[in-house]
A = this chain, B = another copy of it.
């Protein structure tokens, strides 16, 4: 174990890349209040024209983590640089990659994070569809582009990770306000996992009235116990709900929790 005598340090720390996701909603043109269209987007940045590697290509934002910060702090720093949002959004580590040749400049692993950011924190980015350096793309668009390095694959892996989390945890809350309608929750899930399809009436009942899921979300009530509602998306007000913090652990082997 003579390696322990050496000094361990890279000049720039460990590279950290971050896939920043948001769900953009478009109101449908209609004279009535109607459901919004929601679509998952990801933030990409354009590499400078005089970059040594992949100049002018779009890529996931990234940077280097220093020796005086955690990896998550480096990811947050990168997030803040690109979007100006602060630590109140949730980030998740996805994976770490290295294989020979993934960066033409040499030994360059990458710790990949993802962030789930509410649309309202990205209003300037969402509006600026012609931005030159940082821009939101729909997942469909992003996956069709030729991205720098192996970022296409990283994006795919990250997407799969987010989809899995969407179905097995309550991260849907990251894309929703504190109080939300059943329909909003339903739309958020579908925006991330399009193959999730269920009759919304049954979705609601299963969520509220079955033993294993009861308590996952609960009705929002005001100070006097009266139900709180929203008419954001319909003329008829809809009941608002909130996540309770309870998160069931599910299994492929039976239908219970463990």
Contacts and interface: CB of A to CB of B under 8 A. Distances in A.
Interface of A: 1, 3-15, 48, 51-53, 64-65, 67-71, 93, 95-100, 103, 105-109, 111, 164, 167-170, 189, 193, 195-198, 202-203, 206-207, 210, 213, 216, 247-256, 258
A51 to B, nearest CB: 6
How many chain copies?
2
Q: Is chain A's binding surface mostly helix, strand, loop or mixed?
A: loop
Given A250-B250, A252-B216, A253-B167, A106 B3 contact: no
B107 A9 contact: yes
Contacts of A109: 14, 71
Given A1-B51, A10-B8, A106-B9, A203 B69 contact: no
23 contacts: A7-B105, A7-B106, A8-B105, A8-B108, A9-B107, A13-B107, A14-B14, A14-B109, A65-B98, A69-B99, A70-B100, A71-B97, A167-B251, A167-B258, A169-B252, A170-B252, A193-B258, A197-B258, A198-B256, A203-B253, A206-B253, A213-B253, A248-B252
A195 B249 CA distance: 11
A107 B164 CA distance: 33
B6 A251 contact: no
A7 B210 CA distance: 58
